[in-house]
């Protein structure tokens, strides 16, 4: 019997014993092609020699020093890199140990900023339905996935939610994309007024919605319009790039493709690429200045902030992405991958939408393509596809609840930034065949 409390207590997952490049190997001798990097984490693949070498070097030098006593070379170097490569006037990076911690940090930072500048009435956060910002109480509280929140509702930080920018389901047949965007922005503005503009601290959104919607990009002007209303009412725009950031969509920061600069950005997964638990919050100079010129200290902190080994691993991952020119590959191979998936699944009645940006591709499943009717949630279509894919040696990220937190199925394909056309073809072949199998299974049970 296992003594590890696994995510599901109904079984023990396969034992992973080693990994290399695009593959994870289990104790039964199976090689699994990692087409999702776990949860869009493994940006440069597994066991990259440069990252391993940098980590070994760092362990031999300085594995840990508490951030209340010391800074470290890896933390300083990584912060220099991130601030230099983040568009806009981001002057600081605050290091965390992962995505949820980054989001908690962003919320507290926003709150402290307003206290520092003499606006202590601002404490409310607006986010979007069907968003996921992490599982800690603040992050879950702002998150808009009602099913995930339900059990913990009495404990959560108060969050207020508006519709996501999700044209596949939200766009009305009589509307243009501009009209749809107008409607969403009016809804956001109405929420600001309902809460009281002087009480709202931040608007939290993922530039490309990953886990909960399956790589959904916004309409072309959505983020620029959101930036405008945040500015109009003095609200901070907090972009959660934990999943879509650090090159996943073809630019280091996903917001670069929206033509705006946010006030705070959270990052994590692709930052350390899975080599070490690390996240960060990018902070605009006006916010850092307000704290420096006010109380002088951010009232926050965790034991592993700026962990030297994690920072060294992340720096090496970022150097690999840069030196191996992976972002150009994310764009070109990402387009090829998405085009192939779209083409191969075009005639499939259970594939409602194929979408995404860069090497971040989502597939949404439906029981009827014409009416966009989701499958009965009990069928767990997404889990069937995952199982069938695993049986073919392919790991993909699956999720249910796409439509309303309960019904709807999608999957994410998010492989390493270095894959070429041959690997993309392998992913598409195995994925198409896995979807066929899942369809045959439900047809057999109908």
Ligand X SMILES: Cc1ncc(COP(=O)(O)O)c(C=O)c1O
Residues that bind ligand X (CB under 6 A): 39, 98-100, 103, 132-134, 206, 210-211, 240, 242-243, 268
Q: How far is the CB of 103 from ligand X (least distance, A)?
A: 5
Q: Which is nearer to ligand X, 44 or 243 (CB)?
A: 243
| Nearby residues of 410 by Cβ (< 8 Å), 6 or more positions away | 213, 214, 362, 363, 364, 365, 382, 398, 399, 402
Residue nearest to ligand X (CB): 99
Q: Which is nearer to ligand X, 268 or 283 (CB)?
A: 268
* Contact between 110 and 202 (Cβ < 8 Å): yes
Q: How far is the CB of 182 from ligand X (least distance, A)?
A: 26
Give the max Cα distance, the chain. Answer: 67
Q: Which is nearer to ligand X, 242 or 350 (CB)?
A: 242
What's the rounded Cα separation, in Å, for the pair 316 and 55?
8
Q: How far is the CB of 166 from ligand X (least distance, A)?
A: 15
| Nearby residues of 255 by Cβ (< 8 Å), 6 or more positions away | 87, 207, 223, 239, 241, 261, 262, 265
The residue ranges of DSSP E strands in 77-185, in sequence order, are 90-96, 124-128, 159-162
Partnered with residue 355 across adjacent β-strands are: 362
Q: Which is nearer to ligand X, 98 or 358 (CB)?
A: 98
Q: How far is the CB of 439 from ligand X (least distance, A)?
A: 28
Q: Which is nearer to ligand X, 86 or 211 (CB)?
A: 211
Helix (H, G, I), strand (E, B) or coil at 126: strand
What's the rounded Cα separation, in Å, for the pair 273 and 282?
18
Partnered with residue 373 across adjacent β-strands are: 368
Q: Which is nearer to ligand X, 98 or 400 (CB)?
A: 98
DSSP 225-250: HHHHHHHHTT-EEEEEETTTTTTTTS
Q: Which is nearer to ligand X, 358 or 367 (CB)?
A: 358
**Paired tokens of 163:** 């519709």
**Total count of residues recorded for the chain:** 446
Q: How far is the CB of 295 from ligand X (least distance, A)?
A: 27
What's the rounded Cα separation, in Å, for the pair 201 and 108?
10
Helix (H, G, I), strand (E, B) or coil at 256: helix
Q: How far is the CB of 133 from ligand X (least distance, A)?
A: 5
Q: How far is the CB of 300 from ligand X (least distance, A)?
A: 16
Q: Which is nearer to ligand X, 100 or 130 (CB)?
A: 100
Q: How far is the CB of 332 from ligand X (least distance, A)?
A: 25
């Amino acid at each position: 019997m296992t003594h590890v409390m696994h995510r599901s207590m109904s079984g023990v997952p396969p034992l992973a014993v080693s990994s290399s490049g695009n593959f994870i190997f289990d104790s039964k001798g199976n090689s699994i092609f990692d087409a999702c990097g776990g949860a869009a984490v493994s940006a440069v693949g597994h066991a990259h020699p440069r990252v391993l070498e940098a980590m070994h070097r760092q362990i031999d030098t300085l594995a840990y020093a508490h951030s209340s006593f010391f800074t470290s070379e890896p933390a300083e170097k990584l912060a220099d890199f991130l601030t230099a490569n983040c568009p806009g006037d981001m002057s600081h990076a605050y290091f965390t140990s992962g995505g949820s911690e980054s989001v908690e940090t962003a919320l507290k930072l926003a709150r402290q900023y307003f206290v520092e500048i003499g606006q202590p009435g601002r404490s409310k956060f607006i986010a979007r339905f069907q968003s996921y910002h992490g599982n800690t109480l603040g992050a879950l509280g702002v998150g808009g996935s009602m099913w995930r929140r339900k059990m913990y509702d009495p404990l959560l930080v108060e969050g207020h939610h508006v519709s996501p920018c999700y044209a596949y389901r939200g766009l009305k047949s009589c509307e243009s994309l501009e009209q749809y965007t107008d409607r969403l922005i009016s809804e956001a503005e109405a929420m600001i007024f309902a809460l009281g503009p002087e009480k709202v601290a931040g608007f939290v959104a993922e530039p490309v919605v990953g886990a909960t919607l399956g790589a959904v990009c916004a309409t072309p002007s959505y983020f620029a319009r959101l930036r405008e209303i945040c500015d109009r009412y003095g609200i901070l725009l907090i972009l959660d790039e934990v999943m879509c950031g650090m090159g996943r969509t073809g630019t280091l920061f996903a917001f670069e493709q929206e033509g705006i600069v946010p006030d705070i950005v959270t990052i994590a997964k692709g930052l350390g690429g899975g080599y070490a638990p690390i996240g960060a919050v990018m902070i605009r100079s006006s916010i850092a200045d307000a704290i420096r010129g006010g109380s002088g200290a951010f009232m926050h902190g965790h034991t592993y902030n700026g962990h030297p080994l994690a920072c060294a691993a992340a720096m090496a991952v970022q150097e690999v992405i840069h030196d191996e020119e992976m972002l150009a590959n994310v764009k070109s191979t990402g387009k090829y991958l998405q085009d192939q998936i779209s083409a191969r699944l075009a005639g499939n009645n259970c594939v409602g939408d194929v979408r995404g940006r860069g090497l971040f591709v989502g597939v949404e499943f439906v029981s009827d393509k014409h009416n966009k009717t989701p499958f009965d949630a009990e069928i767990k279509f997404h889990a069937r596809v995952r199982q069938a894919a695993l049986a073919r040696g392919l790991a993909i990220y699956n999720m249910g609840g796409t439509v309303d937190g309960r019904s709807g199925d999608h999957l994410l394909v998010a492989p390493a930034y270095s894959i070429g056309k041959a690997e993309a073809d392998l992913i598409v072949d195995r994925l198409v065949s896995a979807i066929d199998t899942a369809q045959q299974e439900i047809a057999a049970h109908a």
